[in-house]
Amino acid sequence: MIVSSIALAVLTPFFIFTFGSILGHPYEEVVAALHNPLVAVLFGLYIVVGLIHFRNGFQVVLEDYAHGTPRRVMIVAMICVTYAILALGLLAVLRLAI
Amino acid sequence: MPDIPRGNRPLSPFMIGPYYRPQWTSVTSILTRITGSALLVGAALLVWWLVAASIGPDAFATADGVLRSWFGDLVLFGSLWALWYHMLAGIRHLVWSTGRMMEIHVAETFGKVIVGLSVVLTVLTVLILWTV
């Protein structure tokens, strides 16, 4: 959590202003912006590190508030959902980049 | 069952307010969890938007329409504040990990600072992105 939090503390301001300046533009401009390798790497990194950070953090939350079988089921389900979002996001960024 | 004298004392949830003062330290700690957990909604919205953009103009128009609707604005504005707040709270944890600013009154002030700063950063971000 410490390693991913340091990475995210650096990436978050860059991501907020990059995404914020792309959102609101027409389709062609959005695709062109995400074709830029720097933007693609920023988005890819942010999705991967952000969702791994979420997976670890939310597991701690579930461990604090749920117990026994519900805890195990919820942790596994949460990891599946998180990794699915991560994979979809990464695939989309790669398709737009190349 | 014997009648236990319980007196006229107030019980659990009614303690908050007149009898129990919430501290900046505990409230900001709980907010860190809430913002971190809630950010999954913003992440899902972002990924949907990216997937739609990678599929084509029609799919993009649908996702982009939702992100730029009042509902999308609400989620994105909330996510923007949640991101700034959660980031500041994380930096606070990194500072605490070094053993600094652990004294109660300093930690209380630290809590007020991250709440205030997160609001300032959110307003500044909206103003900057609006004008650029």
Residue B104: give its domain's CATH number.
1.20.1300.10
Query: Is a pLDDT exceeding 80 seen at residue A65?
Result: yes
Mark yes or no for CB contact B125/A16 under 8 Å: yes
Does residue B101 carry a pLDDT above 60? yes
CA of A95 to nearest chain B CA: how many angstroms apart?
6
Q: What is the ipTM of this complex?
A: 0.96
Is residue B102 within 8 Å of residue B96, measured between CB atoms? yes
Residue B132, pLDDT > 90, answer no
Q: Which of A19-23, A28-32, B20-24, B99-103 has the lowest mean pLDDT?
A: B20-24
User: Which pLDDT belongs to residue B131?
Assistant: 86
Token duo for residue B11 = 């019980």
Encoded tokens for A56 = 């670890």
Domain membership flag for residue B112: yes
pLDDT at B92: 96
To 10 degrees, the CA torsion angle through A60, A71, A76, B35? Answer: -40
Residue B76 lies in a domain: yes
B14 domain-assigned: no
pLDDT exceeds cutoff 80 at B11? no
Give the CATH number, domain containing residue A81: 1.20.1300
- Under 8 Å between Cβ of B28 and B114: yes
Res B130: pLDDT: 87
List residues forming the annotated binding site of B.
Answer: 86
How does DSSP classify residue B16?
Answer: B
Q: How many helices (H) and strands (E) does chain A have?
A: 4, 0
Chain B nearest CA to A3, separation (Å): 10
Residues of B in contact with A8 (CB under 8 A): 87, 90
Model confidence at B84, pLDDT cuts 50, 70, 90, reads: very high
Q: Band of the pLDDT at B16, cuts 50, 70, 90?
A: confident
* Residue A41 identity: V
Domain extent at residue B123:
25-131
Average pLDDT over all residues of chain B:
91
Distance CA A83, CA B71 (A): 25
SS3 B22: coil
Q: Do A92 and B93 touch (CB under 8 A)?
A: no
Percentage of the residues of chain B whose pLDDT score is greater than 90: 79
Please tell me the total count of domains within chain B.
Answer: 1
Please give the pLDDT value at position B88: 97
